[in-house]
Structure 1
Amino acid sequence: MYIPFDQLPPQARIWIYQASRPLTEAEQVEIKPLLERFATEWSSHGKGLQASATLLHGRFLVLANNEDATAASGCSIDASVRFVRELEQRYSLSFMDRTQLAFLDGEKVELVPMPELKSKVAAGEIKENTLYFDTLITNYGELQQAWPRPAGNSWLSRYF
């Protein structure tokens, strides 16, 4: 069962996938109904999930499920990964590359390869207050309250 993204409860579980490149406006228009259809049909052991999906900042695909209603099973999570892989193939991009970190630079999302992180911190290009898109957060409430968040308030704090 589809739930509008902005109506999810704070404890809803989320999965964030970061695109390897910005999605064009045309791609976003095409993808949005695919997301809604997936969320509508997404199920766990034959029982429909209270799910939602959206694109944020033209770069992030977010899938969500109200686990208080029905928990996502291993099979349903596998189905979501297959769906994301299909989008990767269709739009010639990657949503699974976790070696790129995303930061907000003004209005633009900038990717930094993980091997460059230490040098960018040392050079002062990335600071504790630089806004970071932490794709490891797992609930909707945290996404709403602290995303992006200062890098120093994330797992990146060890670099400062």
Structure 2
Amino acid sequence: MFVDFEEIPEDAKVWVYPSSRKFYPNEIEVIAEKIKKFIESWKSDDTSFKASYKFLYNRFIIITADDIATELSNADIDASVSFILSLQETYEVALLDRMNVCFKQGEHVQYKDLKDFKKLLKNKALTSKSVIFDNLVNTKQDFDSFWEIAIEESWYNRFLK
């Protein structure tokens, strides 16, 4: 069942899908509707199942599911990955590439591969105070607290040396 993002418990599972490009305004409304329809149909036979999403910075799709009240099976996870793969194909973006880094430069969100990110650090284009997105967070609480943080406070700080 689709619920408001704030109704999902703090210990619920979160998946962050960063897009390799910003979505265009005309795409966002359509994608948001597709995500909502997917969530409404995801485990629709289980009335206690709750899930939600956020679309942030015109680039990040965040899906959360209360996997404590209702356990997610491998088939449920596969269904969500298949859905994300369909979005990748339709909109010609990468959403599942974990070898990229997203960070803020001013008000803009940048998406770079790890090698280019390390070069930016080395060349001092980014500092330890630069804001990075940790797309590997696992719970809603971690998402709320640690998704958008300074590089020095994240696991990316190992690249500052």
The answer to whether TM tops 0.5 is yes
The offset of 1:158, in angstroms, is 0.9
Aligned length: 159
Whether the aligned pair in 2 keeps the contact of 1:104 and 1:148 (CA below 8 Å) is no
- What's the Cα RMSD here? 1.6
Which residue in 2 is equivalent to 1:99?
Answer: 99
The offset of 1:51, in angstroms, is 0.8
Structural mapping, 1:54-65, within 5 Å: 54-65=54-65
The percent identity for this pair of structures is 27
Q: CA–CA distance in 2 between the matches of 1:92 and 1:81?
A: 16
Which residue in 2 is equivalent to 1:68?
Answer: 68
Q: Deviations over 1:77-117 (max 9, x none)?
A: 00000000111111121211222211011221012221123
| Structure 2 counterpart of 1:47, one-letter code | D
Structural mapping, 1:23-34, within 5 Å: 23-34=23-34
**Partner of 2:9: helix, strand, or coil?**
coil
| Structure 1 counterpart of 2:34, one-letter code | L
Which residue in 1 is equivalent to 2:110?
Answer: 110
| Structure 2 counterpart of 1:100, one-letter code | N
Q: CA–CA distance in 1 between the matches of 2:132 and 2:13?
A: 20
Q: CA–CA distance in 2 between the matches of 1:141 and 1:53?
A: 14
List gaps (5 residues or longer) in structure 2: none
**Partner of 2:35: helix, strand, or coil?**
helix
List gaps (5 residues or longer) in structure 1: none
Q: CA–CA distance in 2 between the matches of 1:53 and 1:118?
A: 31
**Partner of 1:43: helix, strand, or coil?**
coil
Which residue in 2 is equivalent to 1:125?
Answer: 125
Q: CA–CA distance in 2 between the matches of 1:54 and 1:117?
A: 26
The offset of 1:4, in angstroms, is 1.0
The offset of 1:156, in angstroms, is 0.6
The offset of 1:32, in angstroms, is 1.0
**Partner of 1:125: helix, strand, or coil?**
coil
**Partner of 2:15: helix, strand, or coil?**
strand
The offset of 1:52, in angstroms, is 0.9
**Partner of 2:89: helix, strand, or coil?**
helix
| Structure 2 counterpart of 1:138, one-letter code | N
The offset of 1:6, in angstroms, is 2.4
Q: CA–CA distance in 2 between the matches of 1:4 and 1:103?
A: 27
Q: CA–CA distance in 1 between the matches of 2:7 and 2:145?
A: 14
| Structure 2 counterpart of 1:7, one-letter code | E
| Structure 1 counterpart of 2:28, one-letter code | Q
Which residue in 1 is equivalent to 2:79?
Answer: 79
